[in-house]
A = this chain, B = another copy of it.
Amino acid sequence: MEQFRVIEIKESIFKDNDEQAHLLRERLRNEKTFLLNLMSSPGSGKTTTVLQTIKALKDEMKIGVVEADIDSDVDAKSVANTGTKVIQLHTGGMCHLNADMAKQGLNALGTEELDFVILENIGNLICPAGFDTGASKNAMILSVPEGDDKPLKYPAMFSVVDVLLISKIDVLEHFDFDANAVISIAKKLNPNIEIFQISSKTGEGIEEWINWIRIEEKKWNNK
C-alpha cells in the first residue's frame, strides 16, 4: 500500500474563489497536469469509478488522487492499495471544496510529476456545484438507484459539469429509471454535456469514459 497523509483542511480566507480557481488552473496548465473534479451524491460510486479509472490508465499516465470527505479515510485507503499517490482531505463539517481547499490537497500531493489528478469532491449534489475548484474539467455521477428525477431537482449540478456518468446501469432492471428521460433533461440544461452509461461491475461503458479522459488529458497537456 502507498502511504498517504490525512490533512485537516482550513476554510479558505480568499473572498474571490473564481480568481483563486483561475490561478490554480493556469498553474496546472503550466505544470501539464490535467485535474478532473468528480462530484455526486453520497454512494453514487465515485470511489469505485476512481479505482476503475486508475486501473485502466495507470500504465499510460502518472496519476494522483485527492480524496475529500467530512471524516474517515476509507477512500484514500482503497486508492493507496492500488499503489497510487493519494491525499485524504478532511473538511470537518464543510459540504464542498473550493479552489483554495483543492490547492491545499494538490500541494500536499505534489503535482509536478503527475499527468492526471482526480479530485474526489464531497458527496453532495448541491453545494459543490457552486464552487469552481480550478479543475480542468468537471464530471458528475448519477447512479440508477437515485432515480431519474434528479436533473429536475438538482439542476445546478447538471448545468456546470462537462460529463455526466450514469452509473450502476447493471441494476437497471431492478429500479424504475428512465435513462432517456435523464439524458433529455440533462441536455436541455446543458447542451454540451457528454454522457456515458457505465457499470463498474460489468465494465459496460468504461472504455468510452476512459477514452474521453485520454483525449482531454492530451488536449490539456498539449501532447
Q: Which chain A residues have a beta carbon within 8 Å of chain B's beta carbons?
A: 41-43, 69-72, 74, 93, 95, 122-127, 130, 143, 145-147, 149-150, 152-156, 168, 171, 174-175
Contacts and interface: CB of A to CB of B under 8 A. Distances in A.
Contacts of A42: 41, 125, 146-147, 150, 153-154
Contact of A122 (B43, B126, B168): B126
What copy number does this chain have within its complex? 2
Given A130-B93, A145-B171, A171-B174, A123 B43 contact: no
B71 A152 contact: yes
Contacts of A149: 72, 74
Contacts of A93: 126, 130, 156
Contacts of A43: 41, 143, 145-147, 150
Max chain B Cβ within 10 angstroms of own Cβ: one of A70, A156, A171: A70
A150 B156 CA distance: 24
B41 A123 contact: yes
A44 to B, nearest CB: 8
A121 to B, nearest CB: 12
Contacts of A125: 41-42, 123-124
Nearest to A177: B43
Given A42-B150, A43-B146, A130-B93, A155 B70 contact: yes
